[in-house]
Every structure is written in C-alpha cells, then in structure tokens.
Structure 1
C-alpha cells in the first residue's frame, strides 16, 4: 500500500504558540521576562524544547555554555506544555481534508514525530485528530528517533504501508535527513515556521498548500 508519512510540529500543525508559551513559563519561574516570541521564534520552537531553552538563555545571559540550565529546565518545560498543549495550536489549512482524501484514495497515512509520545497523544486527543491516522510513531516509540530512518520505517509498517512506496513530508533538516537516510522522497512544506527558507535545503518536492498534496502523492507514488 502507498503510504504518506507526516512530521507533526510545523508540518501538519502550527504548535509554536503553545511551545513558546511553555518555554516562557519556565523563564517566568526563574524570574525573567519572556525572552521568546511566538511570531518570531516559531522556527526554533519546532526544533524542540532544548532549542527554545538555549535561545532564551542566550538572550537573557548572552552567548555561552548554558547546558546545565537547559537540562534543569527541560522537564519543567514539558510539564508546562502538557498542562496547556492546545490553546494556540491548529492544523494548517486543508491538512485534515487532504488526509481524508488520501485515505479515501487507498493511501495509508502516518505520523513520525520527534515529540515525546505522551505529548503527541495529548495533542492529538486535544485536537480530536487521532482517528485521521493509521499509525503514530513518536520520539520514544523506539530507542532511536529522527534523523535515524528506523522511526520512519516503523511508521510505514504500523500503517500497513509499503516502504518502497512511501515518502516523508516535513519542515526541517531533521526531516530531510531522515528521508535521505531511508532512501525515500522528501517533501518540504513552505508554510511552516521557517517559511520558504526551508526550501534552500535539497528536496524532491515543495508543498505550498495542502490543496496540492493529492497531485504530489500521485506524482511520487503513482496511482
């Protein structure tokens, strides 16, 4: 079966507002004014908790080694995020409709994310979206995460797809490197937090709107 595998944060959904809010809550706990901005720092947000903390500490204290502080605030950030995971998060325009059309056309559909599993579950439940996907593989589903190709192949397998007729849709270098390691096409979205800058990376297809996904899927995987 043909299979389309999606990254989650910044690809299917804009989660940056809630991620940034969680990071800023950590800095507030430490007595600092919010150093991160949801509009300007979304690209950092989708690269993970540690990336946000590093950027925040650099802005507060200047460049340097802040890894001990990053480590100390990593779990508090996840805890803040879990308590308020979907106040600002939304699926990109047309994403769920495009997934429904793919499934109606006999494609399998999966998520492969570096978000921790319990947070992935919380988010999909909060957005009432779990039933849209045949499989979900998160950062801790296996002992390795993207850009190792194993989670991608696991997502395809759990979805009932054929790894020789699959591709990955993402918005970061991690996604691009995962697809390259798996030997499958990489589709990069131009509407994520990085915008069109993401297309500076080598890729196979650019997706500018989920209205284009039906044609892209047929182009890459056939009918």
Structure 2
C-alpha cells in the first residue's frame, strides 16, 4: 500500500510554545528566569529538549553539559504535565490526512519525540486515531535520520516502504528520506521555513491543500 509518513513537531503541529514553556520552567527552577523566547527560539524548540537546554544555558555563565543532562528529565516531566495548551495543528493538516486515507493511502508518524509523549500529545489533540502508526525516538534502537525509523513507521501503518514518502520540515527529515531512498515533501510553514528550499527535497508545500496533488505525483 502507498504510504505517507509525517513528522510531528513543526510539520503536523506547532509544538514550540509548550516545549519552550517546559524549558523555561527548568530554568526558573534554578533561579535563572526565562532564558528562551517563544518566538525567537521556536526553531530550536523543534530540535528537541536537549537543544533547548543547551541554548538556554549558553546564555548564562557556569552552566555546561552537566546541567543539560541533569535538567533533561525535569524538562520531560514539565512538558508531560502541560503538553498541549499552546500547541496548534497547522491549518489543513488533518483534512489532508483524512483525504489521503479516503484515497487509499496508509498514513503514519515518525517523530524524534519520545513515543510516550507523542502518544499523549496526539491523544490530547484528539487525532491519534487518524494515524495507522506512531514511531517515536525511543521506539527502536535507532531514530531519524536512520532509514529504519521511517521503514518501521511504514510497516506498522500497513504500507510498503518502496511506495512511501516522508513529510517533514527539517534537515533531519530530508536526510531520513534520502537514506531511505524515498521522496521527501518539506513544509514551509514551520519554524524552519528559511532553510527548507536549500535542502532540495522532491517537493515543498506552503499549505496542506497542496499535499494531495504532490503525493499523487511522487508515489502515484
């Protein structure tokens, strides 16, 4: 079966606000105040918790890698406690997913967010049942850009890896698709919009309305 696999953060949903709020909660707990800006640092937020902590601690003296490692579990706990109050699905995302399903495509998610957090987020947003698979950062011994992460998401959705593509928003997604030998579609409406064109994906979309035609062109 033809299959479309989606990244989550920055592709299906803008999760940066809740991620940054969790990181800032860590910093406040250390008496440092809010070290990250929800708008200016949105791109870093979608690279994950460790990237946020590293950036925040780089803005104060005396806080190195040891603090990043120590605060990472604290950040995850803070994020799990308030995972979706600032998160928004991108316009047209779920309509596009429903349209692909109705057209006979399998759909799934491959994310470098821990699986449990991704599951909780999708359930909270009320969209988990729309996806045939969910493979997170800790589901397998490998994660994106390892192609097996993509292949497993395809297989769990009931699809054929040879007839699949990946929809994402970052260089990690582009490298994953390249390593897997499948097309990539990158979105321009996430925080990484400025870098998307230079990654030379098979297609770029500015709105989810464009996705069905692009999918048909790339994998039939």
Tell whether the structures are fold-level matches, with TM greater than 0.5.
Answer: yes
Superposition deviation, residue 67 in structure 1: 1.1
Which residue of the partner structure matches residue 83 of structure 1?
A: 81
**Residues 181-216 of structure 1, C-alpha deviations (whole Å, 9 max, x = no match):** 100011111000122332221211101100001101
Which residue of the partner structure matches residue 195 of structure 2?
A: 197
Which residue of the partner structure matches residue 184 of structure 2?
A: 186
**Residues 60-94 of structure 1, C-alpha deviations (whole Å, 9 max, x = no match):** 228xx821110011000000000000000011000
**Residues 17-72 of structure 1, C-alpha deviations (whole Å, 9 max, x = no match):** 0000000000000001201011111110010000000100011228xx82111001
Name the TM-score, length of structure 2 as normaliser: 0.98
Q: Which runs of 4+ in 1 moved over 3 A?
A: none
CA distance in 2, matches of 1:200, 1:70: 31
Which residue of the partner structure matches residue 155 of structure 2?
A: 157
CA distance in 1, matches of 2:56, 2:15: 18
CA distance in 2, matches of 1:24, 1:147: 28
CA distance in 1, matches of 2:48, 2:130: 24
CA distance in 2, matches of 1:166, 1:211: 19
Which residue of the partner structure matches residue 35 of structure 1?
A: 35
Q: Which runs of 5+ in 1 are unaligned?
A: none
CA distance in 2, matches of 1:165, 1:39: 37
Q: Which runs of 5+ in 2 are unaligned?
A: none
CA distance in 1, matches of 2:167, 2:39: 23
Alignment length (residue pairs): 220
Name the TM-score, length of structure 1 as normaliser: 0.96
CA distance in 2, matches of 1:126, 1:197: 30
| Two-structure CA RMSD over aligned residues (Å) | 1.1
1:67-78 map, 5 Å: 67-78=65-76
Which residue of the partner structure matches residue 174 of structure 1?
A: 172
CA distance in 1, matches of 2:64, 2:219: 45
